[in-house]
Structure 1
Amino acid sequence: MGGTLMPPGVVPARGEQELALLVRQRIAARLAEYAGEREAAGLPAEDETARRATVGRLLAEELGAQRRLSLAHGSQVVDATVEERVSQAVKDALFGTGSLERLLADTTIENICVNGCDVVWVKDAAGAWRRESPVAASDAELVELVRTLATGTGGEERRFDRGMPRLNLQLADGSRLFAVMAVTDRVSLTIRRHRFPAASMAELVRLGVCDQQLAALLRALVRARKNIVIGGGTNVGKTTVLRAFAHEIPPQERLVTIEDTFELGLDADATAHPNVVAMQAREPNIEGKGGIDQAELVRWGLRMSPDRVIVGEIRGAEVIPMCNAMSQGNDGSLSTIHASTSRGVFTKLASYAAQAPERLSLEATNLMVASAVHFVVHLGWDAGGRRVVDSVREVVDADGAQVVSNEVYRPGPDGRAVPATPLRTETLHDLIAAGLEVEGAPSSSWGVA
């Protein structure tokens, strides 16, 4: 026979990769089958320790089966060193993020966009896009990677197939992953990083999101238990600002957070917020049953004796129970919403309310919003392309087809917020009682109307 002879027990790199892929696919399938059996038996999902033990057992079984198969066919048997590498590669894929790990380990990267296994783009903190090397050997392998990440997320498995072609989940490092298949030419996934998981008002000032004076106002709004909706476009930093607001909430208060996908992580810091219940919406099962949306979770949260209710993002029917929560004693509640302007926040709230099962009229919605929301804080981009607070509105009343508000801060020439309409007298008194210092401040900033 021609060709170069290889030492006993050594396999080509490609053969090793193929073995790792085969073993990983078989173990992933067996894990899914095992999880289904536990669910059918009414048993809870395995915790991380138990799952690692199960994977270790399955690895030993699969590698043993491969050795027996090689012997039966007279093929070369891989040695212990290769098996160890294969075993580690499988564990990395099942418990980590596979080939994505090198990108997730780069703290300068904000967004990771994969338009097929070999078309990978990342955006850094400065907003510059660059192309990266492939994250999988094929689109099929990329699908398997996404399915592996979905397995066991939040104590349940989230589907990713042609019947459920989209997946939304939080990775172990807090990043948010959204994947889609079937409706696109190639499988695609987007990962949004949260570079400031423990944000504070001081951090917002350091980052240039706002100045010291505006930060003092925002801090006082939270401490005075004003209900605040944070608006802005996609990827403008709404979640980071919401975390900074929550940082100002006294640790003795009980919080209930409600999200479509876990991102806030307020329950992770037992020192800052020791009394937190974090809830996440649930997808329907394969029969289309068992789904729980944010609107239902808000109603549940109100029965849990919260001091404040925090909704990660208003995006539908939860707007009505959220406003009810804000207006019936849970002052100091917070939420975010997608809106291109601060005034546009009211339009989005009204459109969501109109689509809710209650089918509220515009006039009824505006009355509800005016009685619930105290302030709107809007985020945008300044002339230099940096994320900033560009507008702050104080809600005053409702007048038929519109919500009446005063723009306390408005966008300046460079896009950053500048003082505009003075606060109302009663509001200013509330903020002073909450610790806002006004002595020496310009009258245009803290004046009264």
Structure 2
Amino acid sequence: MTTTSTLPWFDDGDPIPDPTSVEFVRVEVARRVEAGDLDEATVIHEELAMWAAHRVRRGLPELSQAAERRLEEAVRGAVNGLGGLAPVLDRDRVENIHIHGCDQVLVECSDGTTARWPYSVAESDEALLELLGELFARLGHTSREFSSAHPIANMRIGAGGPLGSRVAAVREVCARPRVAIRRHRLAHATLDDLHTNGTLDDRLHAFLAAVVTAGLNVLVTGGPYAGKTTMLRALCQQIPAPEHVITVEDDYELGLHLDPHRHPLVTAWEARTAGAEGTGEITLDDLLKQSLRHSPSRVIVGEVRAGEITALLRALGNGAAGGMGTLHATSAAAVPDRIAALGQLADPPLPIAAAHRWTASALDLIVHVTRHDTPHGRHRTVAEIVEVGPVGDADIPDLTPLVATPPGQDRAVPIGPPSPGLLDRLIHAGLDPDVFEPPALIGGGRR
């Protein structure tokens, strides 16, 4: 990574509240609320007005409306337990936040640039650890311990957008606390949104919409930060409203249950880590096994990372049509071996030959996404889509490319139709089979 000394300071043109001012107002708000003045919103408004008047009396310039708004948002976040994290979590351009000690904060922005955050997020590393301990204990869906005894913790907090942010923290095994925060910027992205921002062209948009309508089982793959969750979220937005959808995640990220108008029948489950006594753990595997008892139309898994892959394949192979999930992989071709490797982590381990058979019977398509960082910015695209067929002569599932990225280009194009049975399902779902014609044959060139 580029050293921090060569990186610019973060500046999106919007004022960043001074942490000293935020903390001063927060303390006054907390004092009044603890004394019984329970209307927190009114207290914050009054304390900010008194603080602004105090500035004027000292001869300091009045804050702009934008600065006042940002200060109020930061104070509200601090009061709710976010402390010095509140201002950086509230920046629309920020995708990832890297904290390497209280005063070393780097942010990755949506345009692919990296910058230094101009303020510390806590007064000391000890104060940062205390803040993180409170976050994990109180602000997640389930309480999680972050201490010397449990030095690694992960959770989602309800800040940084409609779906909040994913927090991963480590202590004890490093010189200073390390925290990585992933903000869910595209909380309710649709295929239309991905079409608008250039991730999908017309034909891929139509193809993927039909894939969901037809109830195909899909695995979205890609590398870190390639846009797997955003793509899965967009695919899920195409699911017809009456269907019963079960989502299974380590931490809530998909957010289908937060939009009851679009998805009125969602059962959202989140895994739970063991408590301080080592009991109470509920794994993705546990939840996936339970899911079929709840009569789902579709089972959606945020991400499979280990032996729970066997439960997902079992769920999809048992007739839960239209199931989807995400998986880290370097390419679509690498997926069968990746699934077989994860199957070895199951209890009992899934034999490799069985993993390939299950993959062939459970999956219809692999949608592989990728991220491109260029001097002109960052964009994400679909790199390839393959159909998963039966186990072939090589003893792995046959993979038939349907969409691929030509050499030297960064945009995928359809290169051939799926198998007749799959094509019939897509046509029945409303897809024009012309989307699979080579580009030169579309429109006037076809004649």
Bin for the TM-score computed over the shorter chain: 0.7 to 0.9
2:286 is the alignment partner of 1:296: yes
2:407 is the alignment partner of 1:417: no
| SS across alignment from 1:151 | helix
Match of 2:132 in 1: 146
Q: Is the 8 A contact 1:254 1:308 kept in 2?
A: yes
Match of 1:111 in 2: 96
Q: Distance in 1 between matches of 2:248 and 2:85?
A: 28
Aligned counterparts, 1:124-135, within 5 A:
124-133=109-118, 134-135=120-121
Match of 2:42 in 1: none
Larger displacement relative to structure 2 (360-369 or 435-444): 435-444
Match of 1:39 in 2: none
Letter in 1 for 2:131: L
One of 353, 371, 385 as aligned partner of 2:343: 353
Letter in 1 for 2:150: M
Distance 1:383-1:407 versus aligned 2 partners, 3 A rule? farther
Residue segments in structure 1 that go unaligned for 5+ positions in a row: 1-12, 28-54, 61-80
Match of 1:156 in 2: 142
Q: Structure 1 length normalisation: TM-score?
A: 0.79
Q: Is the 8 A contact 1:94 1:148 kept in 2?
A: no
- Runs of 4+ more than 6 Å apart: 16-21, 88-91, 444-447
Deviation at 1:419, TM superposition (A): 2.1
Q: Deviations 1:9-67 (Å, cap 9, x if unpaired)?
A: xxxx99x969988x98xx9xxxxxxxxxxxxxxxxxxxxxxxxxxx944889xxxxxxx
Q: Deviations 1:54-108 (Å, cap 9, x if unpaired)?
A: x944889xxxxxxxxxxxxxxxxxxxx89xx9xx999753514221111111101
Q: Is the 8 A contact 1:243 1:264 kept in 2?
A: yes
Q: Distance in 1 between matches of 2:107 and 2:168?
A: 15
Q: Is the 8 A contact 2:416 2:438 kept in 1?
A: no
Distance 1:212-1:440 versus aligned 2 partners, 3 A rule? closer
2:405 is the alignment partner of 1:404: no
Deviation at 1:415, TM superposition (A): 2.9
| SS across alignment from 2:314 | helix
Deviation at 1:228, TM superposition (A): 0.2
Q: Is the 8 A contact 2:74 2:87 kept in 1?
A: no
Q: Deviations 1:249-284 (Å, cap 9, x if unpaired)?
A: 000000110001111110000011011111111010
Q: Distance in 1 between matches of 2:110 and 2:86?
A: 18
| SS across alignment from 1:302 | helix
Deviation at 1:154, TM superposition (A): 4.3
| SS across alignment from 2:313 | helix
Larger displacement relative to structure 2 (132-141 or 251-260): 132-141
Q: Distance in 2 between matches of 1:293 and 1:130?
A: 37
Q: Is the 8 A contact 2:403 2:412 kept in 1?
A: yes
Deviation at 1:199, TM superposition (A): 0.8
Q: Distance in 2 between matches of 1:163 and 1:440?
A: 56
2:214 is the alignment partner of 1:224: yes
Distance 1:327-1:445 versus aligned 2 partners, 3 A rule? farther
Deviation at 1:327, TM superposition (A): 1.2
Letter in 2 for 1:273: H
Q: Is the 8 A contact 2:416 2:437 kept in 1?
A: no
Q: Structure 2 length normalisation: TM-score?
A: 0.79
Q: Is the 8 A contact 1:420 1:445 kept in 2?
A: no
Aligned counterparts, 1:174-213, within 5 A:
174-213=164-203
Match of 1:429 in 2: 424
Letter in 2 for 1:188: R
Distance 1:17-1:256 versus aligned 2 partners, 3 A rule? closer
One of 235, 255, 272 as aligned partner of 1:245: 235
2:122 is the alignment partner of 1:136: yes
Q: Distance in 1 between matches of 2:267 and 2:379?
A: 33
Q: Distance in 2 between matches of 1:437 and 1:190?
A: 43
Match of 1:66 in 2: none
Give aligned pairs, total.
Answer: 383
Distance 1:230-1:92 versus aligned 2 partners, 3 A rule? closer
Q: Is the 8 A contact 1:398 1:404 kept in 2?
A: yes
Deviation at 1:236, TM superposition (A): 0.8
Q: Is the 8 A contact 1:255 1:310 kept in 2?
A: yes
2:368 is the alignment partner of 1:378: yes
| SS across alignment from 1:221 | helix
Q: Is the 8 A contact 2:23 2:75 kept in 1?
A: no
Deviation at 1:421, TM superposition (A): 3.4
Q: Is the 8 A contact 1:423 1:446 kept in 2?
A: no
Q: Deviations 1:211-266 (Å, cap 9, x if unpaired)?
A: 11011111111110000000000011111100110011000000110001111110
One of 316, 319, 322 as aligned partner of 2:309: 319
Match of 1:391 in 2: 384
Q: Is the 8 A contact 1:93 1:145 kept in 2?
A: no
Larger displacement relative to structure 2 (391-400 or 241-250): 391-400
Q: Is the 8 A contact 2:157 2:167 kept in 1?
A: yes
Q: Distance in 2 between matches of 1:171 and 1:275?
A: 24
Deviation at 1:338, TM superposition (A): 0.4
Q: Is the 8 A contact 1:422 1:446 kept in 2?
A: no
RMSD: 3.0
Aligned counterparts, 1:10-25, within 5 A:
none
Distance 1:371-1:140 versus aligned 2 partners, 3 A rule? same
Q: Is the 8 A contact 2:415 2:438 kept in 1?
A: no
Q: Distance in 2 between matches of 1:242 and 1:92?
A: 29
Match of 1:272 in 2: 262
| SS across alignment from 1:428 | helix
One of 83, 95, 104 as aligned partner of 2:80: 95
Distance 1:318-1:445 versus aligned 2 partners, 3 A rule? farther
Distance 1:437-1:117 versus aligned 2 partners, 3 A rule? same
Q: Distance in 2 between matches of 1:441 and 1:348?
A: 28
Residue segments in structure 2 that go unaligned for 5+ positions in a row: 1-18, 38-49, 55-72, 443-447
Q: Is the 8 A contact 1:210 1:388 kept in 2?
A: yes
